[in-house]
Structure formats: C-alpha cells, structure tokens
Structure 1
Amino acid sequence: MLTNALIVLVTVVLMEVFSIVAHKYVMHGFGWGWHKSHHEPRTGWFEKNDLYAVVFAGVAIALIWFGTRGAWPLQWIGAGMTAYGALYFIAHDGLVHQRWPFRYTPRSGYLKRLYQAHRMHHAVEGREGAVSFGFLYAPPVAKLKQDLHALHGGRLQRPPRQDGATARPDALAARDPAN
C-alpha cells in the first residue's frame, strides 16, 4: 500500500514537470490551435483548450483500466494523473481563472504567488514571450517580473500590476478584484 501511495505521489510531481514542458512547447507551440482559446476572452462555459483535459483524462482512464486488469502499477499512475487533474482543476480553473460559481482571490502565501504567476503568464498577447508555464509550481513573482522585462523591455500589451495580476479581457477577469 505504501508503494502504491508513493507511485501516486511521484506521478503527481512528475505530471507537474510534464505539464510545464507540454504547456511551454506543445500548448504554446504546435498545439496553439487548442490553447489559443485560453488566452482569449471566453464566451461560454467551455473553451477549446479544455480538450487537453479530455485527452489527459482519457489517458488516465486507460491506465487505470489496464492496471486493474493486471498491469501493475498502471492503475496507480492513472490515479496520480487523476489526482493531478483534480489539483489542476482546483488551482488553475478555480483559483486562477475563477470558473466556479464563487470567487476567491488569495491575499497571501503560496496561493497568492500561484495566482500572480499565472496571471503574469497571461500578461503577454499571443503565444510568444510568456513566463510561468507551471500549473501548481509558481516561480517567485520578482523573478517573473524580471523575465517579462527582459523578454519585452517594457513593451507588454497588458502589463502586470504591482501585485502580479494582469488585465485578461474576459468577463471572469473583469469581476476579479485583483485585476
């Protein structure tokens, strides 16, 4: 049981590493066609970018299915992917983009740093020159500001505010008091 729990935990950590790489090189690369919707104003409940979650959920379901049919430890890897997906949903879709029916903007601690880091990711128009590609890991805000300045030299179309938030032009961001 301890080994299985460790596999789940390690999978969650490795999913964040995988997600950073996939976000930077796939979503902001050849997969921009789906991800672009996430960097534009959302008009409905869903955006094309949500297809990434569907694909990864399908992989997790398949791993759990094969694992429960004797291919150990695949079910535990699938469980770790599912746990990561739940954390992603809570942190990214809920906390940062507030796609929930209630609003919460963290005022201190790691959640505030996570919130600010991802809002700074959206400070850039388009797919080039973005910073902070993690969903659960957030680099220090001061470093992200330095990186943005180095990449853009003060030419941001939507510069981050002092608290790290940005002005993402969608209805949810407009209701965000930190924006």
Structure 2
Amino acid sequence: MTTLAAVVVTTATFLGMEFVAWFMHKFVLHGALWFLHRSHHVRHPHHLERNDFFFLFYGALSMLGIIYGSADKDWRFWVGIGIAAYGTVYFFVHDVLIHGRLRFWRKSGNTYLRALNMAHKMHHKATGRDGSEEFGMLWVSAKYFALAQRKPAPVRRKKDLSASSNS
C-alpha cells in the first residue's frame, strides 16, 4: 500500500468513526444498551462507569485490524490505526476536557473546543434515555459554534504568588 493510500484510509477511518460514534450513541447506547450507557448520564461517586466498557469493543476492533494487517501493512492495519487515533482523540476530548476525569486540561479558550463542550453538556441535560441531543463527539452543530463565538472565553488568572507566600 502506498503512503498516500495509507493516509487516505487512516483519515477516512478516523472521519468515519465520527459517524459510527454518532449512530451507535443515538440508536444503540440510547437504545438497547441504555442499561450500560445510563451510568454515564447520572452522577455517581465511582471513578469507573459501566459505560467505560464500550472502549473494549472499539479497542478490540482497532487491535484486530492492526494485528491482522501488520504483516503487509494492508488496509486492515491502517483502519486499525484510524480507529485507535479516533479513540485517542475521543479520550482526551470527552474524558479529559469535557468530563474532567483527569485534571490536567480543564478549560480551553479555543472556540471549537468550547462549542464541543457546550454541545456535550446539552446532551447530558437529559438524564434519561430520551430527550438528548448532540450525539456525536467531534461534530459541532452550528448553533453551539455560534454560541461559543459570542460567549467570551474563560479568563485564566495566575495565582498571586506574593499573597500565598505570606500565608
């Protein structure tokens, strides 16, 4: 497989995963598998949720593609890489930035990331199976992008070191 073909397959897979994520979230997670996904829509004191097990499915698909396509670096390998890349971005955007499951990236002044955060928060307003909107991860509806452009970015303030050193 040529380098260009590998880049095209990986990029197409990455972009296609957004549609897969949207479809699965809207029709499967808020459908037949709600009993697992529900843990993501309610507050709880646990670090892990039943919903976290979904990464095993996509991780297994990615791993199988990489393993079975690695000998020849054929399309399966690059599809696996595309799925893994999407999963990595999903983890940092969804789990770290939006839900703050790791505390090193709490807010962003970037308009796109703020719009994404707003759309996801709107999705979580509904704690039940029905009534949610915005099922994708990286696609932002125009209304949230426009809102993020109008709403000022959060201001980061440096701690007053002199005040803390006097304590």
Fold in common (TM above 0.5): yes
Q: Does residue 12 of structure 1 match 2:9?
A: no
TM-score (norm 1): 0.76
TM-score (norm 2): 0.81
Confirm or deny that 1:85 pairs with 2:87.
Answer: yes
> As a proportion of its length, which structure holds more helix?
2
Deviations 1:105-126 (A, max 9, x none): 2345101100000000001120
Could you say which residue in structure 1 is the equivalent of 2:159?
none
Q: Deviations over 1:129-162 (max 9, x none)?
A: 100001111113359x9xxxxxxxxxxxxxxxxx
CA distance in 2, matches of 1:6, 1:93: 27
CA distance in 1, matches of 2:34, 2:11: 30
Moved over 6 A (4+): none
Structure-2 residue corresponding to 1:37: 39
The 8 Å contact of residues 117 and 141 in structure 1, kept in 2 or not, is answered as no
2:57 corresponding residue in structure 1: 55
Cα deviation 1:24-43 (Å, max 9, x = unaligned): 00000001111000001132
Distance apart, 1:44 and its partner CA: 1.9
CA RMSD of aligned residues (A): 2.1
Deviations 1:73-92 (A, max 9, x none): 10100000000000100111
Counterpart residue number, 1:136: 138
Q: Name the larger-Rg structure.
A: 2
Specify every segment of 5 or more residues in structure 2 that has no aligned partner in the other structure, as ranges.
152-167
Q: Distance in 2 between matches of 1:68 and 1:142?
A: 40
Question: Mind listing any 5+ residue stretches in structure 1 that lack a counterpart?
Answer: 146-162, 164-179
Q: Work out the percentage of aligned pairs sharing the same amino acid.
A: 32
